[in-house]
Each structure stands twice: as C-alpha cells, then as structure tokens.
Structure 1
Amino acid sequence: MQFDRRVSACSIRTSLMVATAMVATPVFAQDREDDRRSYLPQEIVVSADRDGYSVDDGSSATKTPTPMIDVPQTVSVITRDQIDDQAVSQLNDALRFVAGVSLETGEGHRDEVFIRGQESTSDFYLNGLRDDAQYYRSLYNIERVEVLKGASALIFGRGAGGGAINRVSKLARPGTAFGSAESAVDTFGAWSLSADLNQPLSTNAAARLSATYEEFDSHRDEYEGRFFGISPTVTLEPGDDTRVILGYSYDDDERVTDRGVPSLNGAPLTGYDNTFFGQPGFNEASAQVHIARARVEHDFSDALSVNLSGQFADYDKVYANIVPSGTDGDTVGLSGYRDATTRRNWIGQGNLVWQGDTGGIGHTLLAGFEVIRQETGNSRDVVHFGSIDGPTSASVPLADEISVPAFFLEPLARDRASELTVLSAYVQDQIELGDFVQIIGGVRFESFDLDTVNLVSNTPASRKDEKWSPRLGVVLKPQEDLSLYASYSESFLPQAGDQFVLLSPTSAELAPEKFKNMEAGIKWSPRPELLLTAAVFQLERSNRQTTDPDNPGFVILTGKTRTRGFEAQLTGELAPGWNANIGYSYLDGKVRSRVGSTEAGTILEQVPDHHFAAWTRYDFSPRFGIGGGIVHASSQYASLSNAVKLPSYTRVDLAGYFEISPNVALQANIENLFDEDYYPSAHGDNNIQPAKPLNASVSARIRF
C-alpha cells in the first residue's frame, strides 16, 4: 500500500471528471408537470414571497416520495427563511435552535455535535452525500438544514448513530430569473457581503451563482478571521422526464483558533471571558474545500424512476494552537501543536424507485448502492517550550493577557495516512396495507475496508468489516393528518473512530461499535403548513472499548451507554403571518457498563436534561414584522469525567424586519438580549467556550 498526500492540478481535474461520471442519490425537488411528489426534498424558491418554516417533504429520511408526517423518525428542519430571519451564516449557529442537539466547541476549528448523546465530527452530509472532513460549514449556498435523529445507517451508511445532519443546496431554476444581494454588520465589527443570482439560459436550462465574503470578530481578545465562498450550479432539462444538475463550491476559511477558557473548582473559570489563552499569530486555522457534484435523474414512467450522481471533495486543512490545560487560580498550564490534514473523497450513489401495487398492497420500493473512496493524510508538529528539546507543557501566571513563553515545533511528531473503500447496497420497501397501516422495512449491507499506516514508525494496519444495518417501522393512520408510529434501526461505527485516520494494533482486532434506536411517536398536521410531532426513544451504544479489569493490558468490548428521552416540536404557520419553530427535548444519558476508565452510572457529556429552543416571526403587515427566539439548556457536564459542570442558561434573541419597498428590506437582530453570561459548549474540562454577550447586527437586502 502506498500513500501520497500530494495534490496536483492535474489530479484535481481528473477527479472532477471522474466525479461527473459517477452515480449518487439526488436530494433535490423538481417541479413535475403532473405535480407528483419528488423523492427529493422540495426546493424553496428565493423570491419576494416567503415560504415560512414548514416543510412537508420527508424524502431525505427514506430516499423515496414520503410526506414528513409518514416518516417513522424524528426530523427537525431549518428552512432558508428561518436562516435569514435569524441572520445566521454558519451551520453551528443555526443548530443552536434545534432541541436535542448540543454543540461541542470543536477545538475552535470545526463543526462538532452531540445528537441524542452521541458525539460526532463526521455525520454531516451535503445533498445526502457524506461531507465528513473537520471544518466549519457555511450556509450561503444552502436552502435548508435537516437534522435526522436516531440511528440512520440504512440511508446514510456507517456512523450516524445518534443521527445525521444534511444540508440541501440551492439549485438553478429554469424559467425564472431572480437575484438578491445583502450586506450586514454587527456591534463587534464583523461584517459580510453576499449575493445569489439565478439566470435562465434557455427554456430548459439555467445557471445560479451564490457567493459570500465575511469578516469575523467577537468579544474574545485577538479573535478575528474571514470566509470566502462561491458556488455555481447549472440545471439542464433535456426532456420532460430527465434533469441534469452540475454544481461546484469553493470555501476558503481563515480564523483564529480559540480554545476558550479552562475550569476552576468544577466550573468554568469566570472573570476571564475575554482572555485569549493562546499565542496571537500562531493560533490560526485555515481550510480550503472544493466540492464538485453531478446528478442525472430520469423518470421511465409514473411508477419507475432512477437517479445517478457523483461527488468529488478535496479538503486541505491546517490549524495551530496554544491550549489551556488547567488552572489553580494563580497559574495556568499551556501546551500546543500544529495539525495538518488533507482528504479526498470520491462518492458515487444510485437509486431506483418503483411505486406500484401487488395484489392490492401498495409498495414504494427503493434499491440502491453507494461507492466511496477516501484518501486521508494527517500530520502533527508538537510544541516544546524554551528549546526544541524542552518540555511540552508550561505554567504561566493567570492574567487578563496571557504571556506565552518562547516555544519551538518538533516536526512530524505524528504522521499518518489512510485509504478507505466502502461498498454498499441497500433495499427498502414501504408497504401500504389499506388506508390505515404502513410498514417500512429495509436493510443495508456495507463493506468497510480500511488501510492505515503510521509513517513515523512505518507501521501499517488494516481491517475489513462487513455489516448489515436494518430498519423497521410501522405507521398507523387513523386519519390523513395523523400518524402514530414505532420504529427500530441500527448503525455501526468502526473502532478507528469518526475520521478513520489511523488503526491502532488494538483497534484493528476489534469489531465495530453498535447503535440500536427504538422510537415511538405521533405526528399531527392540523393544517398543511403546520406539523406537531412528539416521540419517546431509547438509544443504546455497545461494543465500546474497556480495559479488562482482570487483565489490565487488554481491551474488551463490554462498554455500553444508553440515552432515553422525549422530544416534541411544533413547526410551521401558527396563524396567518405567524411562523414558528419550537422544540423541546428531555435526555437521560448514562454509561451503563464501564467505558475505558469511566464507571457505570456516569452521566454522558454535554447532554442537558432539558433543552428548549424556539424561534418565531410575526408579520403585522406585508412591510413590518418582528421575530424572537429563546434557548434554554439545563446544566451539563463538560466531559465524561463529570468533574466540571457547565451551568444552565437561558438566552433570548430579538429581531425586526422592515420592507422599504418590494425590492429593498432592512433587518435588525439582537443576540443575547439580556446579556446572559453563560458557557454553552466545551471540548473536555479545560477548553470551555464563553458565549457572546449582547450583540446587535443590521442587514440590508436588495432583490431584483
């Protein structure tokens, strides 16, 4: 096995050509003349008219034409209108308003989430295809964000144990021309410019361009950064039954790596919310992300359709940081490193969907496959203080401005590479037994072949897993607008972890972790634009590594955790001109059997018992509206040590909207209206992120 992490212009061009020829699942809607529901999420048109917060399409959870009310799974959706109303531009800011989702700080350089108590850096998807590198994701070219909760391997493949986060891209629309431009600035000095243009090229073709530039700033000393993104897409409709979509995005992110504050006496260190515990000029992160995609979809008849598409992604990521490791109130410990990652993903996916009857029983049959090829390289240089042979940690006085001692980098203290090949096939049938009973069942077979090498010690390792991931759900329909459901699903995660960079000799011998999700719920839609859902669930995670108490030098797979909970949400138009997205979750997550050195009974990290999130907008007239939001989370532990607790908090936001003319709009947003001092996320016990204090932003949008 030979590893090469170099990327040339020639190889990128070749990869783009290969990706265009590959196959993948589409997840976008199309407006068929016969008004049949697509098995792709409904596209939201950017225009002067609002679509609100309601979404009826649940196809991302099934890859078939399924209304949200008939999906036996909890799904939360953030529409483009809600994203704009909240004036958020980054994925993690949008997810703050999804109950049951907790945000990890991601070490100040990546998106990282907890869903139903399960931590992940890789369960992110773009149009249903894996987008698993560690970076911050922008929303400038996104139409909506979907959070699918519970084990979801049949649809998304390995991982997705607690759930999956799928972003749906904006598409070019033939037949209509529209555009918008927006600028915004906030009280910290952050500002942004963005544009979104759609232009028909002919009656059957159109091009669309989304672009943005942002400058970051906040209350934190030394924090700054900038983001540039551009995303063109083309839609071709050579016939009534065929559509071709080509897309590309380039994201370029540079920002200060901010690891937050350490803890003291079992709580976040207070009085230093602005203090930067790093080295200016060294604590920096950069990411350049290229994603190219192509899709072909064709209807053979009203009953039979196929979709084929492919994606190539190239990630180049570097971050460096001096990190706080703890404080006694007088001094603070520091360590540091610089880390670099390159990754290339080739993904192909294809699906055949048939809708018909056999003996009076209705069927929606899905058969599909997925092929993934991934190459990853990762290296790390470690900080030594004083000299190249000096210690890797230092202690300095605790002060408003931290004085970092002179340090040097030990090159390639860690250097590793991996090659991953995944082959999957899946089948699913949605059976209609009369008007009142629906059964959804299916299984995915996945061959997961991972080869890694430790380039420092020249130690290769490999493992191949072949796993089946089933799903079964029953939906009862006492009336058209009401569904009662129960479901069971499984997922698995190889022992190499989220990023699959290196297999240790121990992990190479161990079977994957396993997730089992059982859920029962109700969905009620009193009006087409309003949906109320509620569910109880139990998610069990097993096969976690644990030190054998009888043989301390050995690892056994007896570690187990369990999360039980209740979730409820109300989404859509409560009354004419009044939209809301309201959610609540109760989570009880505990270690059931010793995990590593963590004993049974330990509470899972960053899982608040109670989490309430709501955002609403009311329009008094076509020209004036107000909005507001509230997020409440009860106290939570920063890590599995249960030694540091993040206090409970309540944050309130406010917004106002004014239409100067049909083409010009102004908007004001106030974040943390009551200037709450709180700590919403952490990365372990000593990297705790202070939240922003009161912050106001003003934006102007022009439509044309």
Structure 2
Amino acid sequence: MTTKKNNSPTPTSFITSRKHARTLPAPALAVLASLALPAVAHAGPDVTPDPAIPSVQVTGANQQQASANDKFTAPLLDTPKSVTVVPADVIAQTGATSLTDALRTVPGITIGAAEGGNPVGDNMFIRGYNAQTDTYIDGIRDSGSQSREIFDVEQVEVVKGPNSAYGGRSSAGGGVNLVTKTAQAYDVNRASVGIGTDKYRRLTGDINRNIGSDSAFRLNVMAHEADVPGRDVVGGKRWGIASTVTFGLTGPTRAIVSVYHLTSHEIPDTGIPFNNPITTGANVAKNGNGEPFNVDRATFYGLARRDFRDTKADIATIDLRHQLANGILLRNVTRYGKSNNDYVWTQPDDSKGNTVLYGTVWRRANTRVTETRTATNVTSLSGDLVTAGVKHTYNAGIEFDRETTDRSNYLFTPGTNNPLTGTFTCPTSGAATLYNCTTLVDPNPYDPWVYTRAVSGALTHVNTKTKSAYAFDTIEFNPQWQVNLGARHDDFQSVLNTLATSTTAAVQTHVDSNFWSWQTGLVYKPASNGSIYLAYATSATPPGNDGGDGLDALTVAVQNLQPQRSKNIELGTKWDVMPGGRLSLTAAVFRSTMNNARVTAPDGTSRNIGRKEVKGVELGFSGKITSLWSVFGGYTYLDAEVADNGYLNVGTTAKPVYVVSPYNGNRFPATPKNSATLWTTYAFAKGFTAGLGVNAMSKVYGSVNNNKWAPGYTRVDAMATYALNADVSLQLNVQNLTDKFYFDRVSSPHYAGVAPGRSATLSANVKF
C-alpha cells in the first residue's frame, strides 16, 4: 500500500512501488569528449535506481514503480487483472528508445503495419485485438496517430483484457499506460551519450532540482538520429524536451505542471510484399504461397525523393491534488494535447497481381496530413473507509474529453498510376511508367521521380466528445477475502464532416452512443504474499472509436450501429516469492468473446452480428532470483478465432451475391498462437553486468483470409555494462545478435514489415 511522507498528498494507486532512479554510472565528461560525438545517447541507463536517493515503498509486483493510474484500488498483487509492468531498469538495459522497443519485452503484444486507412504510428495488438487507440499517459488517453518516445518515461504498464471500465471506449485486448518522469525532492544530474552502427547517435539528459524547500523542477531532453539496420534508405532523426515543476512537496496541496514536445523527421519503411496467392483463373499456376517474397532484406520499394514522415506532439498538463480530512484525496487533472502526422509513404501493393504476373510492384502512395487536438479534464476522489468492520479502498470520478481531428491527403501531378495503362497495373517498369512501377527484385529508391505535391481539398473534420463517470472499490472483508468492483458510464458523441470537392460530395455523419462497462473480481489470499482471483470485465467499442485518426473510422454505413461489446472471464494467481518478495510470478487463463462484432449482413449492410473468440494462457515473471541475477518476461498462448465473419460478396458491385463468409473459423490477423520473452542479467563482478534477451513468436497472418502470413522467429539480444566508478558507466547493446531476418509488423494484407538487422550501440552514462 502506498505510504505518505511529510503528509504530502499521495493517490491510492497501486501498480507497485518504486525506488527513485539511479544512474547506471556513465563515462566521465572527459570520456564523452574523447568519443567526439555530436549529441547522441542511449535512453535507458539514466533511469536506474539510486540507493542514495530516498524511496517510497509500495507493495506489489516486485517493487516496481507506482502507477499514475489511481483507478487501481489495491496493490498489484491483489488486483484481479493481468498487468505487466516494464520497469525503468528493463527499459534501460534493453536499450529501448521507443514505445515499440519497450513493448518487445511483453509477450502477447504484436505491432501492426500501416495501411491506406491505418496510419503510420504505434499500432498495437493486445490479446489479438487492435489497441491502436488504447494508449494512455499517466492514466489519460493519448489520442492521435504517433510514434512515441521513452526519454520521458519511467515505466510502461500493459493492462490486459477488456479495458473500458478503466479507460472508457477501447478494444477488448487491453491498454498501454506510459508513466512519465516528474519533479522529485532531490537534486541530481544525469546524461547519456551513445554511438553505434547504422549512424546511431543519441543524447539524453535528466536534471532534477529543488526549488526552495517545497518545490522541485525537472528537465528531460533527447536528440536521436539513426538508420534502420539492414534496410536501405530508411531512417530519421528526432528531438524532444519535457519539463515538470512540482509545487507543494510536503504540504496537503500539490500542483504538478508539465510540458512535453517531440518532433521527428524520417523516411518510413515500406516492407516487402506478400507472394500473393492466385487461386482461380488462367494464372492459378503462378499462385504464391502467401509468405513475403524472398528478396534481399535491404530491398526498399519507396522513393527517396517522394517519401517522408514529419510528426509533432505537444502535451501540457496541470495536475492538482489536495488532501482532505480523513485521508481523502481530491484530484483534478487538466490536459491539452496536439499531434501532427504528415507523410507520403510508399506501400508495395501486391493486390493488383503485378508481382506474380510481371515481377513488378506498383508504388502505391499512401499519404496523410493530420492534426489531432485533445482537451481532457478529470476530477476524482480516492481514499479508505471502514463500514461495519469492512474496509473499502475507493476511487470515483468524472471525466470530460474533447478530440478534434482534421485529416486530408496529398495529390500529385503527375499522378501515381502507370500512364501506359492508366491504372495501377504494371506490365513494365521504369521511366515510361514515371517510376510509379518498379521491379520486384532490386528496385532503385533513387529513381528520378518528379512531381508537384498539394494537399487535397477533401478535408475530413471529426469532433468527438465524451462525458464519463466511474467508480472503483476494493472491499476487504478480512485478510483472506477481497472483492474488487468497478463501473463506468460513457456518453460518446462523434460527428464527421467531409468537405465537398469538384469530384466528391460533402458527407456528414454522426454517432451518439451511451454504454456501461464493468470490472469485478473475487480475490482469495492464501498467504500475505500471494493471491488467487476470478474476474469478469467488459469493454465497449462504439463506431468511430478512433476519433477520426485510425482504422476504426466513422462512416454512414456504421453510424447507427451499437458498440461492439467484449466480455472476458479470467482465473489467475499472483505471488511475490523469494526473500523480501523480490520475484513476482503470475499465471492466468482467460476467455474473451465479442458477440456483436461489426460484419457484413446477408443484404450487404453492416450489422452487429459477428462473433470473435479468444482463449488463452499467460505466464509472467519479474524480479531477482538472487541478489545478482534478475529476470523479466513471460509466455502467452492465444487461440484467437473469427467464429462468425458474416457474409462475403462473391458477385460484383453492380450485382452483389452474398454468401456465408468462407473465413469463419480462421485466426485473427497479427495474432501469434505462441509468444515468449525473456530478459535476464547477471552481475558477474563488482561493476560488471551482462544481459541476454530472447523474443520468440509463432507465425502470424496478414488478414482474416489467412492466406498471407509471416513465419515465426526467435530473436536474441545481448548487453554488457561496466561501471568505471559510482558515477560513470559504459553500456554495450547488441540488438538482434544473430542478424535474424524476420518480419515484425503484419496486419496489412499487402506487405510485411521487415525487422531491423543486427546493430551495436555503445552508451556512456554519467551522473554529476
């Protein structure tokens, strides 16, 4: 349970306890200078615990950091839900520099590929369900398509299973919460500089200062530049700054004011097209096997003179907390955010038959010009009370949220079709096709593609408003028995307007949806260091869930449909074992169903008549086996079936003929049946630690058809650190040690994303 120091207000949140970060010693400034680096660093080691810094202990989950999500009303050990916490030291040791890097250590999560309607950015799948819109920062939804950094992140929390009771509208799979760094009551300076293969350069800095006796200031900065190992052309640079001021560190009233900015410029990756199956017609003999084509790993189908991606993210937050009588905490959080995602990105489109018929690829230009603005206000009360001898730990609140997205795309002169055919078919390639067609093998990314680019007048404006009320209560009858209850009501309204152009009519559509979400669990504690739970939870995903910037778009066809509702029942156990509870072990079996999935009905309309089902097993471990040996990882088994996919048109658009979907019984796209992760370190001698990581995943399908797929893989990483003294250390990371050629992004039916090849980085980390 969270403790309070100096009567400072502390929310009753329980994802665990934290010790404030210690810098893994890094090379002294003289050593840094000798490296002759511009300004480049490794993100991680500057966040490991420092034994000299006072700590606040919280029970649960192997002593990891306390969560900003105060909706957890019990220690993680006693929370009837699967939650994986990726702590600061694992982020640091693995050399993670992005959210997707950090999530690589969590089994059961896959990263999806972008598509025409699916933006380039963090596209996660959790337990088989798309969780693109289910990213939170300190417990508040972070909207807009982005690629998130971790230079300002203390730890990453993955809540698995239906998540609507905690976060509102969401997928059935769960959500990801980023816990950010805040100003603390101590003085410390940290810096980290790194260089590596593939033009890797990275710099991070972390400065925390007391301001007087009751306030503190913290500044985090980052600059990063790198190519993608094993890939031609792909790479980019980014920089970020995050500052926080905390007032009232010791009194009953506290204010935390923070500002965050991130800018990136890159050439996004295109991946490799699938060997497209042709099952009927005269060319059936040329049928592909559905795997990505066997071409050189470095093959890049984009155009260096056309492709780009520029992003920006700005977030400002005011977090006010006041300790009332009887230990009740009143909290109000106001946040404003804005994100921009602007790109031209070539997709190697195999769906036109070019690859198997002609050995060519159409360079399909996927484009987006998007700005998303959000304003959120959350007010909550939390505390403890005892009634009739029964203890309640509660949190209740109201939330108001407004999201506005303006989205358009680019138009090109000349166009992106093949001028020889007037379409996207490519019997030939090269200059005569204006380089819109290229060869499957050895395409030239520096083809002299000349164009004029302009933003389309077909602007889509989406305005989404949400009003919510929620309450959570952990009821402790005695030391052995607890009940966890949670409920949330959402009033979700979204309006879409598309401006008319010379060729298209204006479109207006809207959805107005009200829904309840539930979370309940029975917890039995056979011992103080363990629990066994049985839990039930629901989620609701209304039409237009993405707020105008994702795959789940609002359209006329779906505006009147009900939210898709998912239900999950889970039986699990959690134990903190070894002396001091230093090793956390978890296990769970679960079944999740969506009985009203949106699919095509027999008359061609969209209806809530489909069904999806996931049955699975999860195992997890985190902590220390001995004082020198640390482990983190787990295993996930997912039996994810599309039980009822509705109907499919086997006729034409003019004369449709609908039959029962032949894809009934197929597996979910982007969902491996088996996945496992392990990260382990061992301190061999004073100042020297080595680590090894293994990530394994079985094959995944690129679409519900299950006829395009990427094979499974096993990836190995390695790390070694050496402390020169108490303040300075060096860290060497080798990612993808065996240079495994595999695919790490599969959710598009056209291509698979190529994972980075082997790379090495050396970081120098200093505390001064």
Picking from 106, 112, 136, the partner of 1:104 is 112
Where 1:314 maps in the other structure, the secondary structure is strand
CA-CA distance at 1:392 after TM superposition = 5.4
Counterpart Cα distance in 1 of 2:601 and 2:191: 60
> 2:442 is matched with which residue: 374, 396, 400?
400
**How many Å separate the matches in 2 of 1:642 and 1:101?**
19
Q: Cα deviations across residues 607-640 of structure 1 (Å, max 9, x unaligned)?
A: 1111010111111233111011000101111221
The match for 1:540 among 590, 593, 605 is 593
One of 185, 209, 228 as aligned partner of 1:199: 209
Equivalent of 1:260 in 260, 271, 280? 271
Asked if 1:680 is matched to 2:744, the reply is yes
Gaps of 5+ in 2: 25-47, 51-60, 276-287, 427-436, 649-660
CA contact (8 A) 1:517 1:540 kept: yes
State whether residues 343 and 374 of structure 1, in contact with CA within 8 Å, keep that contact through their aligned partners in structure 2.
yes
Q: Deviations over 1:296-332 (max 9, x none)?
A: 1121135311111111001122011222111227212
Instruction: Please report how far the alpha carbon of residue 415 of structure 1 lies from its aligned counterpart in structure 2 after TM superposition.
Output: 2.3
**One-letter amino acid of the structure 2 residue matched with residue 442 of structure 1:** G
The correspondence for 1:507, drawn from 540, 558, 564, is: 558
Counterpart of 2:637 in structure 1 is 586
TM-superposed CA distance for 1:259, in Å, is 1.7
The answer to whether residue 645 in structure 2 is matched with residue 645 in structure 1 is: no
Given that 1:61 and 1:71 are in contact with CA atoms closer than 8 Å, whether structure 2 keeps it comes out as no
After superposition, the Cα gap between the structure-2 partners of 1:87 and 1:226, relative to the gap in structure 1 and judged at 3 Å, is same
Is contact 2:19–2:65 with CA below 8 Å preserved after alignment?
no
Q: Which residue of 1 aligns with 2:124?
A: 113
CA deviation digits over 1:389-417, x for unaligned, max 9? 95456543223134666666575274211
The alpha-carbon distance between structure 1 residues 147 and 393, as it changes in their structure 2 partners (threshold 3 A), is farther
Give the corresponding residue for 1:525: 576
The answer to whether the 8 Å contact 1:563/1:587 transfers is yes
1:635-688: CA deviations, max 9, x gaps? 111221211121111111111010011111001011111221211222413221
Structure scoring higher RCO (CA < 8 A, sep ≥ 6) equals 2
Q: How does 1:11-410 map onto structure 2 within 5 Å?
A: 32-33=5-6, 38-40=11-13, 42=17, 44-48=19-23, 50-51=48-49, 54-55=62-63, 63-106=71-114, 109-174=120-185, 176-218=186-228, 219-237=230-248, 239-264=250-275, 265=288, 266-326=290-350, 327-328=355-356, 330-382=359-411, 384-385=415-416, 391=423, 394=426, 395-402=437-444
**SS of 2:207's equivalent?**
strand
Q: Please say if residues 543 and 557 of structure 1, whose CA atoms lie closer than 8 Å, have aligned partners that are also in contact.
A: yes
- For the aligned residues, what is the CA RMSD? 2.4
Cα distance between partner residues in 2 of 1:676 and 1:258: 18
Inter-partner Cα distance in structure 2 for 1:644 and 1:561: 20
- What's the counterpart of residue 8 of structure 1? none
| TM superposition shift of 1:579 | 1.5
Does residue 571 in structure 1 map to residue 622 in structure 2?
yes
Shift of 1:48: 4.3
Distance 1:240 1:246, change over 3 A: same
Q: Which residue of 2 aligns with 1:468?
A: 516
TM-aligned CA deviation for residue 364 of structure 1: 1.2
Distance of aligned partners of 1:270 and 1:276 in 2 relative to their CA distance in 1, 3 Å threshold:
same
User: Please, which runs of 5 or more residues in structure 1 have no aligned partner?
Assistant: 1-27
Equivalent of residue 536 in structure 2, options 485, 488, 506: 488
Q: CA deviation at 1:445?
A: 0.7
Q: Are residue 453 (structure 1) and residue 464 (structure 2) matched?
A: no
In structure 1, C-alpha distance between the alignment counterparts of 2:163 and 2:66, rounded to whole Å: 14
TM-score (norm 2): 0.84
Q: Is the radius of gyration larger for structure 1 or structure 2?
A: 2
- State how far apart, in whole Å, the 2-side matches of 1:189 and 1:642 are: 38
**In the alignment, which residue of structure 1 is the partner of 2:734?**
670
Q: How many angstroms does 1:29 deviate by?
A: 7.9
CA 57–207 in structure 1, closer or farther in 2 if over 3 Å, else same = closer
Q: Is the Cα contact below 8 Å between 1:207 and 1:235 reproduced in 2? A: yes
Per the TM alignment, residue 36 of structure 1 is displaced from its structure 2 partner at its CA by: 9.9
Is the partner of 1:620 in helix, strand or coil? strand
1:592-611 matched pairs, under 5 angstroms: 592-595=643-646, 597=648, 599-611=663-675
- Equivalent position amino acid for 2:395 in 1: L
From the superposition, tell whether residues 284 and 211 of structure 1 become closer, same or farther in structure 2 (CA, over 3 Å): same
Q: How far apart, in 1, do the equivalents of 2:245 and 2:450 lie?
A: 52
Structure in which a larger fraction of residues adopt strand:
1
Residue 365 of structure 1: how far off its partner (Å)? 2.1
The letter for the 2-side match of 1:205 is: S
Mapped contact 2:404–2:462 kept (Cα < 8 A)? yes
- Give the superposition deviation at 1:80: 1.1
**Structure 1 CA distance for aligned equivalents of residues 213 and 8 of structure 2:** 19
- The answer (yes or no) to whether the contact 2:216–2:245 under 8 Å persists in 1 is yes
* Contact preservation (8 Å) 1:121, 1:132: no
* Residue type at the aligned position of 1:306: L
CA displacement 1:471-513 (0-9 Å, x = unmatched): 1111001111110001111111112242435532221111111
Query: Do structure 1's residue 420 and structure 2's residue 464 form an aligned pair?
Result: yes
Query: In the TM superposition, what whole-angstrom CA distance separates every residue of 1:145-195 from its partner, at most 9, and x where no partner exists?
Result: 000000111111111421000000001112x11011111122111111110
The CA distance in 2 between the partners of 1:358 and 1:255, in whole Å, is: 58
Change (3 A) 1:469 1:454: same
What's the secondary structure of 1:342's corresponding residue? strand
Distance 1:313 1:571 in 2: 34
Q: Which amino acid is 2:701 matched to?
A: Y
The 3-state SS of whatever aligns with 2:685 is coil
* 1:303/1:356 contact within 8 Å kept: no
SS of the residue 2:559 aligns to: helix
Change (3 A) 1:248 1:75: same
Alpha carbons of structure 1 residues 337 and 408: separation in structure 2 relative to 1, 3 Å = farther
Q: Is the 8 A contact 2:74 2:474 kept in 1?
A: no
What's the offset of the Cα at 1:349? 0.6
Q: What is the Cα deviation at residue 382 of structure 1?
A: 4.6
Asked whether the equivalents of residues 388 and 410 of structure 1 are also in contact (C-alpha less than 8 Å), the reply is no
Q: Is the 2:9–2:323 contact (alpha carbons within 8 Å) kept by the matching residues of 1?
A: no
SS at match of 1:507: coil
Percent of aligned pairs with the same amino acid: 27
Distance 1:387 1:555 in 2: 36
Distance in structure 2 (CA, Å) of the matches to 1:582 and 1:46: 21
How many angstroms does 1:279 deviate by?
0.8
Name the SS for the 1:661 alignment partner: coil
Please tell me the residue identity of whatever aligns with 2:590.
Answer: F
Residues 55, 260 of structure 1: CA spacing in aligned structure 2 closer, same or farther, 3 A cutoff? farther
Measured against aligned partners, the alpha-carbon deviations of 1:239-265 in whole angstroms (never above 9, x if no partner) come to 522211010000001110212110112
Contact 2:699 2:709 in 1 (8 A): yes
In 2, the alpha carbon distance for the partners of 1:541 and 1:448 equals 20
More divergent stretch after superposition (466-475 vs 215-224)? 215-224
CA contact (8 A) 1:668 1:697 kept: yes
